[in-house]
Every structure is written in C-alpha cells, then in structure tokens.
Amino acid sequence: MSRDEIYRQSQSFLDDFGFGESVATVFDDMLERSVPFYAELQRMIAEMAGDFAMPHTRIYDFGCSTGTTLIGLDQAIGPRGLTLVGVDNSQEMLAKCRAKMAGHAFANAVELTRADLNQGVVMENASLALMILTLQFVRPLYRDRLVRAIHDGLEENGALVLVEKVLGESSLFNRSFIKYYYEFKKRNGYTELEIAQKREALENVLVPYKLAENLEMLESAGFRYVDVFFKWYNFVGIVAVK
C-alpha cells in the first residue's frame, strides 16, 4: 500500500482536494490513517449488510472509491445471487477499484458505474445502499434530493448505511472534537503541516452537517427507522430503514 504523503511538503498554492490519480494511488493508506476505527466501521457495515442484503437484489455503494466496502461485504456474506454495484465519479478511483477487485474471487456479481451523485441516482431492485464518507462531498444544494432519491430507489424494508464526518452540535464541542481528531491524525504519523494543508484543501469541498441535521434529512426523506450505530467525536455512522 503506497503511503499518503500528498501534503508532506509545504505547498505555496493549494488546489482544492479532489479524487484524481495522486489521491487514488495512496487512498487506502489515507483512509486507514485518517478515519478513526476505519477497519471496524467496514466490519460493522459488512455485518449489517448481512441482515439487509436480500437474495437476488442489488446493493449500491455510492462513492465506492477503491472497493474496500464491496470486497469486505462480499467476503462476509458469501453467495446470495446479489449484484454489487459500485458507483463513483472518479475514473482514477474506479480504475484502482477494478484492479483491487481483480485480486478477489467474488461470490456475487459486481458492476462498476461512473456517475455524478449531484445529478441523482439510478437504482433498481435495491435492498441496501451504502454511502460511506461520500454524502459530505455532495453539494448541499443536492443532498436532500439525493437522499430522497435513494429512499425512493430502495425496496420496502431496504436500508441505507451512511457514514459521515459531522459538526459538533455546539461550537464548543465542535472545536474540541476537531482538536481530538487532529491528535488522532498525529498519532497516525501526519505532521502539523500535513494536517493544516489538507484541512485547507478540503475547505468548501467536504461540507459536514451536524448529526441532528443528517437524522432530520433521513427522516424527512421518508425513512421509518433511523439510528446511530457508530460515533467517535466528529464521525458518525447511521443506519436508516425504509
């Protein structure tokens, strides 16, 4: 796995963060060192998928990146005649995903699609949708519409599993959660400069909502049951059932 050193050197001009070749190349290392409990989150998602993935339906992973979630899920739940659909708008991510998936013998069918989630989604016969650290990159203007489209695209009793970075409910906790998060990144080998430059590059690209705002968005989209299955300072995992 290539090490993430994208923001190691001081950069006089910082481009907005994007999911091109340089990020795709180091992405797995970036997530392991930047997302608290990333491996446990993936295990929990696969565990929940085991309960929601109805045989002979389709499972959508919106923002599939390098395919970590779909690979883990397939291994955890085994053959069910499913079609696992990975959706991402980054060609470079999808290329890495294809290469990584080639190293796995899938028990279910797999499809990869390039699409922009700002434009909505196409879903059929879906028992489960996943959006892991991806809704936060969808333009706020389109988020409600997208979540509603995912709800409408799911079969009855189908589920959406959402993982997001969130704002604290008050500015007091927001500040301390961010401080603890940067301490976590330092423990994982990122320097102050790397953390500061990445934060600046992500500004206006990753737009987090509060947990309460995410819950309200899911409820108003029509999900009948909504609950938090994971919370670590400014990271949250939510499961919602139609």
Q: Which residues bind ligand SAM (CB under 6 A)?
A: 19, 31, 63-65, 68-69, 88-90, 93, 116-118, 132-134, 137-138
Q: 165: closest CA among 79, 93, 231?
A: 231
Query: In the bound complex, what is the minimum distance in angstroms from residue 195's beta carbon to ligand SAM?
Result: 17
Determine the residue type at 201.
A
Name the residue nearer to ligand SAM (CB basis): 3 or 56. Answer: 3
Query: In the bound complex, what is the minimum distance in angstroms from residue 100's beta carbon to ligand SAM?
Result: 11
Name the residue nearer to ligand SAM (CB basis): 77 or 169. Answer: 77
Query: In the bound complex, what is the minimum distance in angstroms from residue 12's beta carbon to ligand SAM?
Result: 26
Query: In the bound complex, what is the minimum distance in angstroms from residue 65's beta carbon to ligand SAM?
Result: 4
* Sign of the torsion formed by the C-alpha atoms of 180, 182, 186 and 192: negative
Q: What are phi and psi of 116, to 5 degrees?
A: -95, 120
Query: In the bound complex, what is the minimum distance in angstroms from residue 132's beta carbon to ligand SAM?
Result: 4
d(CA 162, CA 62) in angstroms, rounded, equals 10
d(CA 36, CA 39) in angstroms, rounded, equals 9
Burial class (CB in 10 A: 0-12, 13-18, 19+), 141: exposed
Name the residue nearer to ligand SAM (CB basis): 1 or 157. Answer: 1
Name the residue nearer to ligand SAM (CB basis): 112 or 154. Answer: 112
Name the residue nearer to ligand SAM (CB basis): 21 or 169. Answer: 21
d(CA 97, CA 59) in angstroms, rounded, equals 16
Query: In the bound complex, what is the minimum distance in angstroms from residue 89's beta carbon to ligand SAM?
Result: 3
Contact 162, 214 (CB under 8 A): yes
- Closest-by-Cβ residue to ligand SAM is 63
Name the residue nearer to ligand SAM (CB basis): 57 or 66. Answer: 66
- Paired tokens of 62: 């919106």
Counts of helices then strands in the chain (DSSP H, E): 8, 8
- Paired tokens of 49: 């998928």
